[in-house]
C-alpha cells in the first residue's frame, strides 16, 4: 500500500527526486490551492530484516536512508528518547503553533547541526535504511533511525534533519495515497 508522509506541524510532504535527493514539498500553495501530491511523494512501507521498516520511494524504488557519514552516538542519551510515545506526542501537541511560516515550495535536505548525517535514498538494504515507525494515534507517527538513535524532523523552512530532541517537529502523518 502506498502512503504520503506529511509533516504534521508544517504540512509539507516527504518527496524524492530521480537523483536520490530527499526533501519536503508543499504542494498546495496560495497560487495553486488545489495541487495534490504527485508520484514523488508516494512511499511504500516494507518490513526490514534488520527490524523496523524500509520506506521505499515509489518513484525511485530506493529506500529512505541515513547517509553513510552517520556517526554512532555516545552512551549519553537525551531524556526525551526514554520518554513514552504518548508523552512525546503530548509535548509535541503543546508546542504546535497556529501560524506557519511558509518558505519556498521545495526545500533540500541539509545535514544535521550535530554531525554530517543526512537523509537520502539508497538501495543497499542495510541497517541504515531501516526506520522504526512509532504510530502514536491513528496515522500520526515518529520515524526514528535506530542506526544512529535519532528521529527525522521537518522544520518550518521544510528542511529535513535528524534530532534526538523533541520540539514537535518530529510528528509525521501517514496518508493513504489511493
Q: What is the pLDDT of residue 116?
A: 52
Check residue 20 and give left, alpha or beta (phi > 0: left; psi -120 to 50: alpha): left
| CA-to-CA separations, 77 to 72, 131, 133, in angstroms, rounded | 12, 19, 20
Name the CA dihedral angle for 88, 5, 160, 104, rounded to a multiple of 10 degrees: -120
What is the pLDDT at residue 77? Answer: 35
Q: Which segments in the chain show pLDDT lower than 50?
A: 70-115
* Residue 85 pLDDT: 43
Single out the residue of 36, 169, 31 nearest to residue 92, CA to CA.
169
Nearest to 162 by CA among 86, 88, 64: 64
Amino acid at each position: 500500500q502506498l502512503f504520503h508522509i506529511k509533516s504534521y506541524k508544517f504540512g509539507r510532504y516527504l518527496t524524492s527526486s530521480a537523483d536520490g535527493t530527499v526533501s519536503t514539498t508543499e504542494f498546495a500553495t496560495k497560487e495553486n490551492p488545489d495541487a495534490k501530491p504527485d508520484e514523488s511523494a508516494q512511499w511504500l512501507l516494507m518490513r526490514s530484516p534488520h527490524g523496523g521498516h524500509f520506506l521505499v520511494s515509489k518513484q525511485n524504488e530506493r529506500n529512505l536512508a541515513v547517509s553513510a557519514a552517520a556517526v554512532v552516538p555516545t552512551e549519553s542519551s537525551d531524556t526525551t528518547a526514554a520518554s513514552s510515545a504518548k508523552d512525546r506526542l503530548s509535548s509535541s501537541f503543546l508546542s504546535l503553533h497556529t501560524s506557519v511560516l511558509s518558505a519556498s515550495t521545495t526545500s533540500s535536505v541539509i545535514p544535521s547541526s550535530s554531525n554530517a548525517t543526512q537523509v537520502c535514498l539508497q538501495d543497499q538494504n542495510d541497517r541504515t535504511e531501516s526506520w522504526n515507525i512509532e504510530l502514536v494515534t491513528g496515522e500520526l507517527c515518529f520515524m526514528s533511525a535506530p542506526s544512529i538513535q535519532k528521529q527525522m524532523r521537518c522544520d518550518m523552512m521544510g528542511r529535513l534533519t535528524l534530532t534526538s530532541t523533541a520540539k514537535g517537529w518530529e510528528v509525521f502523518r501517514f496518508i493513504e495515497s489511493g
